[in-house]
Amino acid sequence: MTAYARFLESKAITLALLGKEVALGDINPILYPFQRQLVQWAVRKGRCAIFADCGLGKTFMQLEWAKLMGGRCLVLAPLAVAQQTVAEGNSLGITVNYVREQRQVHSDISIANYEMAERFDPAQFQSIVLDESSILKNFEGKIRTRLIEMFQQTPYRLCCTATPAPNDITEIANHAEFLGVKTRQEMLAIYFVHDDEGWRLKGHAVNSFYKWMAGWSMMLKKPSDIGFSDEGYNLPKRTLTPVWIEGDAQALAHANGQLFLTTLKGIQGRTVARRQTLGAKVYRAAEIINASNEQWIVWCGLNDEGRQLHKAVADSTLVEGVDSIEVKTERLGSFLSGETRVMVSKSSIFGFGLNLQQCHNMMFLGMDDSYESFYQAIRRCWRFGQKHPVNIQVVLSDIERPILENVLAKQLRSWQMAEQLVGHIQEYEKSELGITQSSTTNGYHTTQTEGENYRMMLGDCVERCRELGDDSIDFSLFSPPFMALYTYNDSERDMGNSRTDAEFFEHFAFLAAELHRVTKPGRNVAVHVAQVATTLGVDGIIGLKDFRGKVIELFQAAGFAYHGDITVDKNPQAQAIRTHSKALLFAQLKKDASWLRPGLADYVLLFRKQGENQVAVHPDISNDEWITWAHPVWYDIRETDTLNARSATTERDERHICPLQLGLIERCIRLWTNKGETVLSPFAGIGSEGHEAIRLGRKFVGIELKESYYKTAVKNLEDAVSQSKQGMLF
C-alpha cells in the first residue's frame, strides 16, 4: 500500500474497538439471536449505544453486556425502572443490587436512579450503563454536563434507549459526547450546516453521517432492521379515542383578552382552557374508569386533575412528584402486582422506561403539545410483548382540539422521519455487525476524454497526476478547495473533506509533490486562494485563518520557490450580501465597529520550480498591458466573468461552484506560457482554465473528481475547440 493510499484510509472516519471479542456461544441463550448479535457488537465496541424500540429487550442486552465486560458496573436508570431491572436480572441469572450511594456497592452490577448519580465515585467502576439515556436531554444542562464529566474516564460505557427523534440533534450529540465519540461542536462542524431553518445535515454528508453513527450506535425499530426475523415482534392494535367535553369558548376568549375565541394563545391560554373544564373532564374520566373492571393508567398534567380523579375512583393510587422514592416505588409495585387497579400519575414521573404491559387501558386527562412525552407514555403499554389491543382515551374539551391535532401531526411526521432514519442507517449497521459487506469505494471510478488539444481526466488529482510524465507541464493554474467539509461530495479523496487544517494540508502536500515532479524546470505554478473565515459554531472564534500563508509554506516545503503574488480586488458589498458577514454590514457599522474588517481579496500565488528554463516565454502582451499587469493589485477583474456553472451543480451541493474569472485566467496563461504549450489544472471543475487555454492556442490537461463537473468541463472544452476553429477561419 502506498503512502497516499494509507493516508486516504486514515481519512475515513473509523472508531477504535475499545472492548473485547466474545463468541456468540458465550452469550446467554435466553437472549434472541438479534439480541445476542447486538451484545457481541457492543462488547467489542466497549463504548456504544443501542437505540432499540420499546419491547426489544434493552434491559436483557445491557445486563448481559455489563456481565461480559467484567469488573464493577453502575447502571443509572429513571425512577422505578430499577426494581424492574433487578427482576429481569434474576431471570438471566445475573445479580443486580439496587443502591443509593457508593458505600452500598458490594456486587459486580449495581443500579441507581439518575437523581443519585453524584453519590457515586466513577473511579470505582469499570463500566457505566445509562438506561433510557434519552432522558439526559430532559435534565438541566448542568446535570447533563456533570454526567458527561463524571464518567469521561470510565473505560466502558453503554447507552440504551428507544430510537431517538430523527431531527433531534441534541439527543444524538449528547450520546456521542457521553461516549467520548465526538463533542457536539465537532459533530456539527463535520456533518451539519446552519441556515435560516437552524442546523441541518449537509447534502453530501448524509451517507457519511449515518455511516459514522453506525460505528457507535445500533438503531432498530424491529429485528428485521438489522437482518433478523420479526417473528413474535408485531405490535398489537392500538386504538386512540378522543372524549370531548363541551367548553365555554366565550369565557375563554375573555380570559385571553379576545372578543371571540380564535385560537389558544400559548401556554397560558392552554392552561386556562385545561382548568376551565377540569371538573367536567374528571367526572367523565371517572365514569369511564368506574364502568370498567380492568386496570387503567391515567396520565394527568395538573396536580388538581390527579387529586380529584383519585377521589372519584375508589380503587386508585396517586403518585405525585413530592412523594418520596420509597412511596413511589411501593405504589408502582402495588399496581404492577395487580393489587391496585388504577394508577394516576404524570408522564414526567413514570413515562420513561417502565414496562407496564400487564395493563392495556390508558387515559390522558388533558394533554399538552409535547409529542415526545405523549409517545413515551403510550409506549409503556403499547410495546412488543403486549398480548391485548391497547385502548387509549384522551379526555379534552372541544376548545383543546388544536392540541390533539398538533400532537397527532407531530406523530405522523416523526414516524415517517424515523422510518427514513432507520432506512438510511440499516445497511451500515448490517456491515458493522458483519451481516453484510459494505462497499468502501464511495462510487469512485476513473475515465478520461481526449479531444483536440485537451485531455480531461476523471478521478483523484494525486493519483491521476502520477500518470503524467516528469517535467511534462509548462504551467499549472488552479483554485484548490478551501477546507470545506462535504460541500461538493462525500469522498475521502476530496481534499476539502478534511476534519482538521492539518489533515487538509497533509493531503495537499501529496499533490504539491506531484506538481513539482511534472512541472518543467524554471516554469511556474499559479495557485488562486483566499483567506478562510472562521465561525463561532465551528471554530469557537470569529476571525480568519491564514490560508494564503499556509499554502506558501506548503509549496516551499515541496521544493518550489515562492516567486510572487497578485492581489485580486473584490467588491466588499457583494461579499456582504453573499456571506452575511457581520464584519461587513452597515448595521454593524452603527452597532459596534470593533467587529468591522475590510472585505477579503483573492490572491494568485506564483511558485517557480528551480532549474533553468529551456524554452523562453515570449508573451503576446504590450508594454502598456504589462504596466497594468505588473501592478501588485489587479483592480479590473470582473467577478461575473465566468463560465456558467449551473448545469454542473447538484441538489446536494452546499455551495454553488465558483469558477475562476476568465479574465484572470487569460492574463496568467498569456503571461507565463507560449502558444502550443501545456497547461494543467488538477482541480479543473467545469473546465474554465482549459477553456481559456484552448481558446488562446495552448494545450490542456485537466483532472476533476466530481463526475457532474467533469461532464460539464468536457462540454466547455469542446465549445472552446469550436470557438478556436471559428477564430482561425475568420
Helix pair 371-378, 401-432: axis angle to 10 deg: 70
As beta bridge partners, residue 242 has 394
Of 352, 24, 457, 401, nearest in space to 247 by CA = 401
User: Which of 89-98, 381-390, 648-657, 716-725 shows the lowest per-residue confidence on average (mean pLDDT)?
Assistant: 648-657
In CATH terms, the superfamily for domain 12-226 is Tandem AAA-ATPase domain (3.40.50.10810)
> How confident is residue 519, by pLDDT bands cut at 50, 70 and 90?
very high
Which residue in this structure is represented by grid cell 443490587?
97
Q: Is 337 exposed, middle or buried (0-12, 13-18, 19+ CB in 10 A)?
A: exposed
Question: What single DSSP character describes residue 345?
Answer: E
- In the chain the first and final C-alpha atoms are separated, in Å, by 54
pLDDT digits (tens, 9 = 90+) for 48-91: 999 998 889 999 999 999 999 999 999 999 877 888 899 899 98
* φ, ψ dihedrals at 319, nearest 5°: -120, 120
d(CA 501, CA 546): 11
Task: Determine which helix (DSSP H) or strand (DSSP E) holds 245, and give its type and residue range.
Answer: strand 238-245
Of 117, 80, 138, nearest in space to 349 by CA = 80
Which residue in this structure is represented by grid cell 447533563?
144
* φ, ψ dihedrals at 297, nearest 5°: -110, 130
d(CA 43, CA 18): 9
* φ, ψ dihedrals at 232, nearest 5°: 85, 0
The ranges assigned to domains in the chain are 12-226, 238-416, 447-729
d(CA 617, CA 611): 15
As beta bridge partners, residue 131 has 160
d(CA 311, CA 585): 64
d(CA 368, CA 596): 46
d(CA 208, CA 428): 10
Between residues 727 and 11, the one the model is more confident about? 11
Tell which phi-psi region holds residue 448, choosing left (phi > 0), alpha (psi between -120 and 50) or beta: beta
* φ, ψ dihedrals at 685, nearest 5°: 55, -125
Q: CATH assignment of 447-729, given 3.30.1360.30, 2.60.120.260, 1.10.8.640, 3.40.50.150?
A: 3.40.50.150
d(CA 252, CA 399): 9
Q: What is the number of other CB atoms lying within 10 angstroms of the CB of residue 144?
A: 18
pLDDT of 167 reads 61
Strands 390-397 and 238-245: parallel
d(CA 77, CA 160): 10
Between residues 727 and 440, the one the model is more confident about? 727
Do the domains 12-226 and 238-416 sit in the same CATH topology, yes or no? yes
> In this model, does residue 730 exceed pLDDT 50?
no
> In this model, does residue 253 exceed pLDDT 70?
no
Between residues 248 and 342, the one the model is more confident about? 342
d(CA 536, CA 185): 10
Strands 156-161 and 47-52: parallel
d(CA 273, CA 262): 13
To the question of domain 238-416 being in CATH 3.30.559.10, the answer is no
pLDDT of 269 reads 65
Q: What average pLDDT does the segment 352-378 reach?
A: 89
For the chain, the average pLDDT equals: 89
d(CA 598, CA 583): 8
d(CA 614, CA 725): 30
Question: Can you give the pTM of this predicted structure?
Answer: 0.76
d(CA 695, CA 687): 12
